[in-house]
Structure 1
Amino acid sequence: MGSTSVPAPPASSRRGAGAFAAVAIALFAIQVDFFALNLAIPGIARELGVTVTAAQWTLSSYMLAVGCLFIVGGRLGDLLGRRPVLLTGIGLFAAASVGCALAPTLGVLVVARVVQGAGAALVFPVSVSVISNTFPEATRARALGAVFALANVGTALGPFVGGGFTDGPGWRWIFWLLAPLSALALLIAVRYVPDSRDESAPRQVDLPGCLAVVASLAALTLAVERGSAWGWDHPRTLVLYAVAVLAGAAFVRRERTCAHPLVDFRLFRNVSFDLVTVMGSVCNMGYAVTVFLATLQLQQTRGLSALLAGTVFLAPALMVACSGPLGAWLSTRLRATTVMALAGAVAGTGMIGLSLVWAWWLYLPVFTWCALGLGLGWTFSSVATQAVVPPARAGEASGVVLTALVTLGAIALAAAAAAITALTPETGPEAAYDAILRVGGAVIAGASVLVVLVHRRLEARAATGP
């Protein structure tokens, strides 16, 4: 695109190592937070004297803030400087973690979770662009893979931490763990993270575009998150969908005419970027649904405690953690689209296999195999897309990818919940879970085949010429 970026120090320097550590610790804390609180919802409801449905707002509010601010956060880093935006995000996340730990009521907890989600929405895309602009091209994929490996250790520990604290000293200790971790990341970032930005664009933020995309994604996320509780044909749900469509149309119109858009739609002319983003989104949808269904199976069908359910997740989540360096290693040997198709094949067969087993000695290895494919799919999408965009606009690309992953993941969860509600009275819960896993596995496996076919078609067209 002809843009340039502020030169970054060598990745081998102390500054590069410090930036790596700050980003890894911040993302680790965010991943622990995201995957720990699911198992803490019953404990939160009991302590605060609310229903489990009301306590779900601690998850919905967080997803709302994260989902609608990823694009804004990523582009703000490109325009205003990655360092100040990263520091702001980590600071918000740390302060909100303390607020969550001290929250006396559900209302205060929900507000703190919104702030925490806003901080995470700044940290995640900017972290990716910080690594992309700090490390040279030769080692960038390996550095991103290592960052995601360390961050995904939080994925592995999240359910265990959430279940352990909920059954032990209490859910508030989840946030007391996150506060010092994020504070440490902030201190390291202040000392070592260099600044960089998109030098081709003025330091002007497309405020109308920001408002339009936030309104559209917020309305869509809220409708999806609460649609099953309100009713999919409830006027409140339908109004939110209408707002999402109208604001989305306004955003597209604005970005096509704006001199310095929040999202440059030329990004989507890159077919490799499109294929990687679609496949990563499909894998993340499968991951969200599989984790949700496994939690229900382990706690409701098999009667495990929150702690034991979290323990079962350790091996599969460890595979998700390993998917970061595995993706970086594969990226030097295979095309990005090939890696994504491979991930889809592993994930799809794993989900289908998970619906066919019952014995523990089969359930755990199949769950682990499934998690490897799903984790590789959504983790590698963030690594791969950085290879096909200029470093100056790395935050924009990361924000787009993460928005697709999170928003479509929420839609998949809502669809799974609706399917369970519809199928359970006729088939029973276990059969409903298995049916959803089979459909999801078939969709992911089919998407991986489609990626291969489209890529081969494009190669054949390029070989024959116009």
Structure 2
Amino acid sequence: MGQVSEHGPQGSPRWALAGLSLAMLMPSFATSTANVALPELTKLYAASFQAAQWVVLSYLLTITALIVVVGRLGDVLGRRRLMLAGVTVFAGGSMLSGVAPSLEMLISARVVQGVGAATMMALTMAFASAVVPRSRTGSAMGLLGTMSAVGTTLGPALGGLVTAWTGSRAIFMVNVPLAMVTLLIAARTLPHDPPRVAAPSTRFDLAGTALLAAALIAFALAMTLGRGQFGSLNFAALVTAFVACNAFIVVEARAPFPLVPLNLIRNRALLASLSTNMIVSAVMMATLIIGPFYLSKVIGLAAAPAGLVMAVGPLAAAMAGVPAGRLVDRLGTERVALGGLAALAAGTAYLSVIPAVFGVAGYVAPIVTMTIGYGLFQAANSTKIMTGGRPAERGLISGMLNLSRNLGLITGVSTMGAIFAWGTAANDVVTASPEMILNGMHSTFVVAFFLIIGSSLVSFHAARNISAERTG
């Protein structure tokens, strides 16, 4: 595999991909380990569970607010120097999190860690599409998807063990040596920034940056506040997000150096891919929300075996990523993306009618089908988006791609959770009967099925338009 970057070779592409793989693993690993440690953190800092949840929320909000911004900064200031800075900031935030003397300090340190995580997530795919030949981009995207899934899978298991052996502080310190290894590999192998980027003469869109961050934070808060109950605070946050988003579009139309150029905002094919990515991510989040209730209340599994069954999905994603990428390189992005959506539709259709008597095997089969479909879609969609844009905008486009996924996950927690609660027809899902839980799951996946079908039609229509433009 040869180096194809126009920025000049810095090291082996294989070692560069190894460093990028670690950079993709760490942000998801840092999310899932913190979730596991929340009960211990409430004891350590004598805090309520609602207060401790900000350890996770502050990290996710920071990533959501900054991921597009740092992607654009990479295009303007240089991706290599920004990636190295991001890994360093992530390591520093991890260390500060591990020694934080109070919950407030821990939350602040997690914001710092989130800045580094946003940088790594935004720039990893941009680098991957630059250091491998175009014919191998699918394989690279599949590998990065695998590493993200591995981080999600390892987090609960390793985080639980580390917390049990050495305490909850240690789960943050685990990231420090990983970041140091990543920094060493990246410094030796990532291609140099070209001279035209190394001299940052372009002005940065501060107004657009502030408005986009405000819109994204407000939207994320609207989807997460209230613990599933949509109240006045959620409504106010949603209105704020809407106003800030519209103001952002107006500012971008007039800005001499916009954060997101209008050619991207008006690119229907790109918007279709990003919208589908968001919807698919929201549907996948439904499996994580409903799975524990179904396995414990309907199937009757204890916490430990239910956790093992829940790990099957991320494990299947980790195993499917690389083969999915290779399939993209052989068959092309459109066919593989539609095949992945078809698998997702089949899985959601099955879960919308599954009887309880099918047991664990009846639940695992559609989950694995959906997870493989998700891996196929992600590899194909990421490849299509990253190879379709201009090289000078790869950081920005990579940030937008990751943002659409994060927004889908955040929206899925709120929207799919609300549909599930409505479907149970219970005052409290925790006390709902097995029959109510089953009804709630069926209702949720009926909605999920039609969302996937709608996304498939949008993707198919966009693909036909692109094909017609190329042949016309």
TM-score class, shorter: 0.7 to 0.9
- Trace 1:32-181 onto structure 2 (pairs within 5 A): 32-166=29-163, 169-181=166-178
Compared with structure 1, are the counterparts of its residues 90 and 308 closer, same or farther at alpha carbon in structure 2 (3 Å cutoff)? farther
The letter of the residue matching 1:127 is T
Structure 1 equivalent of residue 453 of structure 2 = 445
2:412 matches 1:412: yes
Could you list the per-position Cα deviations for residues 306-339 of structure 1 after superposition, in whole angstroms to 9, with x for gaps in the alignment? 6544432333212212343233222233342332
- Distance in 1 (alpha carbons) for counterparts of 2:332 and 2:152: 26
The letter of the residue matching 2:24 is L
Structure 1 equivalent of residue 383 of structure 2 = 383
Could you list the per-position Cα deviations for residues 378-425 of structure 1 after superposition, in whole angstroms to 9, with x for gaps in the alignment? 454323211111222111111112112211321121112333444444
2:218 matches 1:210: no
User: Are the equivalent residues in 1 in contact too, given 2:11–2:191 (CA < 8 A)?
Assistant: no
- Distance in 1 (alpha carbons) for counterparts of 2:104 and 2:33: 20
Secondary structure of residue in 2 paired with 1:333:
helix
User: Are the equivalent residues in 1 in contact too, given 2:138–2:325 (CA < 8 A)?
Assistant: yes
Compared with structure 1, are the counterparts of its residues 342 and 166 closer, same or farther at alpha carbon in structure 2 (3 Å cutoff)? farther
Compared with structure 1, are the counterparts of its residues 456 and 116 closer, same or farther at alpha carbon in structure 2 (3 Å cutoff)? same
Could you list the per-position Cα deviations for residues 216-251 of structure 1 after superposition, in whole angstroms to 9, with x for gaps in the alignment? 11111112111446x5331x3333223222221221
User: Are the equivalent residues in 2 in contact too, given 1:323–1:375 (CA < 8 A)?
Assistant: yes
User: Are the equivalent residues in 2 in contact too, given 1:60–1:222 (CA < 8 A)?
Assistant: no
- Distance in 2 (alpha carbons) for counterparts of 1:324 and 1:74: 24
**What is the deviation of 1:462?**
6.8
- Trace 1:51-450 onto structure 2 (pairs within 5 A): 51-166=48-163, 169-196=166-193, 199=196, 202-228=201-227, 231-234=229-232, 236-298=233-295, 308-355=305-352, 356=354, 358=356, 359-426=359-426, 428-450=436-458
Secondary structure of residue in 2 paired with 1:428:
helix
- Distance in 2 (alpha carbons) for counterparts of 1:311 and 1:407: 27
Instruction: Choose 303-312 or 371-380, whichever is displaced more.
Output: 303-312
User: Are the equivalent residues in 2 in contact too, given 1:209–1:251 (CA < 8 A)?
Assistant: yes
- Distance in 2 (alpha carbons) for counterparts of 1:125 and 1:306: 35
User: Are the equivalent residues in 2 in contact too, given 1:285–1:408 (CA < 8 A)?
Assistant: yes
Compared with structure 1, are the counterparts of its residues 187 and 454 closer, same or farther at alpha carbon in structure 2 (3 Å cutoff)? closer
**What is the deviation of 1:169?**
4.5
Could you list the per-position Cα deviations for residues 6-55 of structure 1 after superposition, in whole angstroms to 9, with x for gaps in the alignment? 82345xx7343332222111211222222333343333334433333332
The letter of the residue matching 2:444 is I
Could you list the per-position Cα deviations for residues 406-459 of structure 1 after superposition, in whole angstroms to 9, with x for gaps in the alignment? 113211211123334444443633432332133213321342244224534664
Compared with structure 1, are the counterparts of its residues 164 and 381 closer, same or farther at alpha carbon in structure 2 (3 Å cutoff)? farther
**What is the deviation of 1:199?**
4.2
User: Are the equivalent residues in 2 in contact too, given 1:290–1:437 (CA < 8 A)?
Assistant: no
Instruction: Choose 283-292 or 335-344, whichever is displaced more.
Output: 335-344
User: Are the equivalent residues in 2 in contact too, given 1:198–1:393 (CA < 8 A)?
Assistant: no
Compared with structure 1, are the counterparts of its residues 56 and 27 closer, same or farther at alpha carbon in structure 2 (3 Å cutoff)? same
Secondary structure of residue in 2 paired with 1:85:
helix
**What is the deviation of 1:163?**
4.2
Compared with structure 1, are the counterparts of its residues 189 and 300 closer, same or farther at alpha carbon in structure 2 (3 Å cutoff)? farther
Compared with structure 1, are the counterparts of its residues 232 and 360 closer, same or farther at alpha carbon in structure 2 (3 Å cutoff)? closer
**What is the deviation of 1:210?**
0.9
Q: Which segments of 5 or more consecutive residues in structure 1 lack a partner in the other structure?
A: none
Could you list the per-position Cα deviations for residues 62-84 of structure 1 after superposition, in whole angstroms to 9, with x for gaps in the alignment? 22111111110110111100112
Percent identical residues: 28
User: Are the equivalent residues in 2 in contact too, given 1:212–1:251 (CA < 8 A)?
Assistant: yes
2:17 matches 1:20: yes
Compared with structure 1, are the counterparts of its residues 138 and 199 closer, same or farther at alpha carbon in structure 2 (3 Å cutoff)? farther
User: Are the equivalent residues in 2 in contact too, given 1:290–1:351 (CA < 8 A)?
Assistant: no
Compared with structure 1, are the counterparts of its residues 432 and 25 closer, same or farther at alpha carbon in structure 2 (3 Å cutoff)? same
The letter of the residue matching 1:381 is N
- Distance in 2 (alpha carbons) for counterparts of 1:296 and 1:97: 32
Instruction: Choose 84-93 or 127-136, whichever is displaced more.
Output: 127-136
User: Are the equivalent residues in 1 in contact too, given 2:286–2:412 (CA < 8 A)?
Assistant: yes
Q: Which segments of 5 or more consecutive residues in structure 2 lack a partner in the other structure?
A: 427-434
Secondary structure of residue in 1 paired with 2:259:
coil
The letter of the residue matching 1:451 is S
**What is the deviation of 1:259?**
1.9
- Distance in 1 (alpha carbons) for counterparts of 2:468 and 2:191: 43
- Distance in 2 (alpha carbons) for counterparts of 1:351 and 1:117: 33
User: Are the equivalent residues in 2 in contact too, given 1:319–1:371 (CA < 8 A)?
Assistant: yes
- Distance in 2 (alpha carbons) for counterparts of 1:299 and 1:61: 30
- Distance in 2 (alpha carbons) for counterparts of 1:412 and 1:311: 22
**What is the deviation of 1:213?**
0.7
**What is the deviation of 1:347?**
1.5
User: Are the equivalent residues in 1 in contact too, given 2:351–2:441 (CA < 8 A)?
Assistant: no
The letter of the residue matching 1:232 is F
The letter of the residue matching 1:412 is G
Secondary structure of residue in 2 paired with 1:107:
helix
The letter of the residue matching 2:11 is R
Question: How many equivalent residue pairs?
Answer: 456
User: Are the equivalent residues in 2 in contact too, given 1:159–1:311 (CA < 8 A)?
Assistant: no
